[in-house]
Structure 1
C-alpha cells in the first residue's frame, strides 16, 4: 500500500513553473491580440469614457457593447496596464494616469491617432514581408505622393508624437547644452509640424529658428508657428533635403529620424557640418542597431520594413564614427533615449 507524505512534494514545482521554450513564440502571437485590443479601444473611445470609475455594464450601455464581454475586455486592458480595476461585487474600471494623459481624446497630449496609424502601418508591413523576402521588389511611391503623405502625417500623428514625446526629449537635450543660452539661430531639419523648433524658441527668447521641410509639410509647420504666435522668430524653409540647400550660420541643428531616408548619409553629414557656425552644435537622434540582441529587438521590429526597402539603419556607434570623420569633435552619445515607437541614439557633436 502506497503512503502519501504532505511534506514531501511528489514533483518539483520549480520545473513546472519554468517557461516552456515555445513561450516566446506564444508571446509574439499574443502581442498581436493586445495590439488589436488597443486599436479597438481607441476606435470606440473607451479611454475617453473612463476618466471616472465605471462598471462594464455602464460602459457597454454608453458604447453599445455587450456587457458581459465588455467586462472581459476591460479585464484584459487592466492586465495590460491601460486601466485600473477596483474589485467588489461589481468591478469598476478607470483610466490609469498615463491613459488619461495620452489615450483620452480630450487630453492635449492625446496620441490615439498616432497609435492607430502605427497599428495600420505595422499590420500592412506584416502582409508585405513575404513579397519582400521572395522577390526583393520594393514599391517606390512617386515623390509627390511621399510629400503629400508626409504632410498629412505632420498634421496629425507626427504632431501628436512630437507633443507627447519628442519635444520633451529635444528640450532636455538641447537645453542642457552650454551653447543654448546664447544661441541665435537653430535649424530643425525635417521637423514635420515644427513643434520641436517652437518648444525650443519658447524656452529661449533670443532664439531664431528655421524648420526645413517638404513644401506641403512646411505649410503645416507654418500654421503651428502662427498658432503659437512665433512667426517673427520661427520660420519655415520649403525644399527637398536631397536637392535643396537648408541655410547656413546655425548655432544649433536638431536632426531626428531624417538620415534613414537619404541615400548618401555621409554627404548630408558634410552639409550639416558646413551649415554650422564655428562653435556650433549638432544634436542628432537616430535609431541604431545595438550589438546586444535583447536591446536590439525594438529597433529590429520597427525598422525591418525600412531596411528591406533599402533605407539605412547603422550599427551602434557608426553615426558617431562618421561624424568624427567629417570633422566634428567632442562627440557624445547617449543610447536608448526614449522616442516614438523605438528608442534612438542621441549623438551630440561640435564644430570647432
Structure 2
C-alpha cells in the first residue's frame, strides 16, 4: 500500500483489523492449537478438553479456519502445519509467548489518545511488573523474537579474539547464547533485573551453556556494572529510556569495556526525519503508553549518543533485519 494510495476499503480494513488479532490472541490464550496438532477433533470434544462453551468455541474455530490457521473436514478441526510449528506449546518454535505479550499490551493501546494528551504512560512498565503472567509473556516473548533474529545477526559479527561479552539487559540471555555458540572461546555475563534470573538460567541451562554464561542481577540505571569486558551487546534497551537514561547506560557500558572494546546496539531505528519506517514509528507510541520517557531513536540520534559517551568508529552494520531493526557498532578508544 503506497503512502498516499489509500482507499476507503483500505481504511476500513485497517480499522477493523483487530478482529483477526483478537481471534488469534484468544486461540493462543486458550491453547487450542496444541491439542489440534495431535489430531482432528470435533468442537464438543475440544470444548470438553479446554473447558469452553461449545457454541463460542465453534465460532472461534471457524474464524481461525477462515484465517488459514486451522483446517476443517466435516465437523472436525485440525491445526495447519504452520500452526503446528509456531502455535503449539509442544513445538520448540512456539511463538505464543510474544503473542500473549502483544495481548497484554492491548489495553494500554486502547488508551493511546489519553497518552498523547498527557504525554505520560497509561500502564506500568512491563519489564518491572509484578504480574507473573505478564512477566512470563514478556521475558519469553523476547526469547521468541531473539530466536528468530539472532541467527541473522550473530554470524555476521566478527568477535575473533574477544573473550568476555556483556549482554546488558539481556533478558533470558538468548543473544549471549547465540554469540557463545558462534564463538567457542567466548564467555558471557547476562546483566538484568533480579526478576529475570529464573527465565535466564532456565534458558541458559536448556542450551547447555551454564559453564560459559553467568547471570548477574542489578539495575543498570541506578547501579554500577561489575567486571571487565571486551564486547558489550545492548539489544532493545535504549528505547525504554529518554536521552538522559540512554546517556547513563552508554556511559556505564563504555566504562565496563577495556580499551579497544566493542559495543553493539540493536534498536528499531527511525529515519532521521522520524516519519518511517512504519514499525519503529508505531513502536515509539508503544513506548509512549508504557514508559515515562522512552521512544524509538533515529540513526543520527543513536550515533550522537554513542559519540557523547566516548565511543568512536561508529557505523551501522549492513544487515537486513525485520521491523526496521538495525545494529550500530562502535569502539572504545584504545588510548583512553
TM-score of the superposed pair, with normalisation by structure 1:
0.75
Which deviations, in whole Å up to 9, do the C-alpha atoms of 1:183-228 show, x marking residues without a partner? Answer: 2101110011223223332443322110111123235423443454
Task: Spell out, residue by residue over 1:72-96, the C-alpha distance to the aligned partner (whole angstroms, 9 max, x if none).
Answer: 644543443433567xxx4875434
Q: Cα distance 1:78–1:334, how it changes in 2: closer, same or farther (>3 A)?
A: farther
Q: Which of 83, 97, 102 is the aligned partner of 1:118?
A: 102
Q: Is the 8 A contact 2:269 2:326 kept in 1?
A: yes
Paired residues for 1:147-186 under 5 Å: 147-149=128-130, 155-162=136-143, 164-178=144-158, 180-186=159-165
Q: For the residues of structure 1 that align with 2:274 and 2:247, how far apart are their CA atoms? A: 27
Q: 1:313 aligns with which of 290, 296, 320?
A: 296
Closer/same/farther in 2, CA of residues 108 and 261 from structure 1, 3 Å limit: same
Q: Which runs of 5+ in 1 are unaligned?
A: 1-18
**1:83 is matched with which residue?**
70
Matched residue SS, 2:15: helix
> 5+ residue gaps in structure 2?
none
Query: What's the secondary structure of 2:167's corresponding residue?
Result: strand
Q: Structure 1 CA distance, aligned partners of 2:56 and 2:223?
A: 56
- Partner Cα separation in structure 2 for residue 146 and residue 160 of structure 1: 12
65-74 vs 295-304, greater mean Cα deviation: 65-74
Match of 2:83 in 1: 99
Deviations 1:297-351 (A, max 9, x none): 333333314135421321344313433453321512457623xxx5422222333
**Aligned positions of 1:185-200 closer than 5 A:** 185-200=164-179
- In the superposition, the TM-score normalised over structure 2's length comes to 0.79
Of 287, 293, 302, the match for 2:283: 302
C-alpha contact (below 8 Å) 1:320/1:333 kept by paired residues: no
State how far apart, in whole Å, the 2-side matches of 1:36 and 1:293 are. 29
Q: 1:235 aligns with which of 207, 211, 214?
A: 214
Corresponding residue for residue 27 of structure 1: 13
Cα distance, 1:132–1:37 mapped onto 2, change above 3 Å: same
What is residue 62 of structure 1 aligned with on the other side?
Answer: 46
Are the counterparts in 2 of residues 151 and 217 from structure 1 also a CA contact under 8 Å? no
Instruction: Indicate which of 231, 255, 271 corresponds to 2:252.
Output: 271
Higher relative contact order (CA 8 A, sep 6+): 2
**Partner Cα distance (2:88, 2:59) in 1:** 21
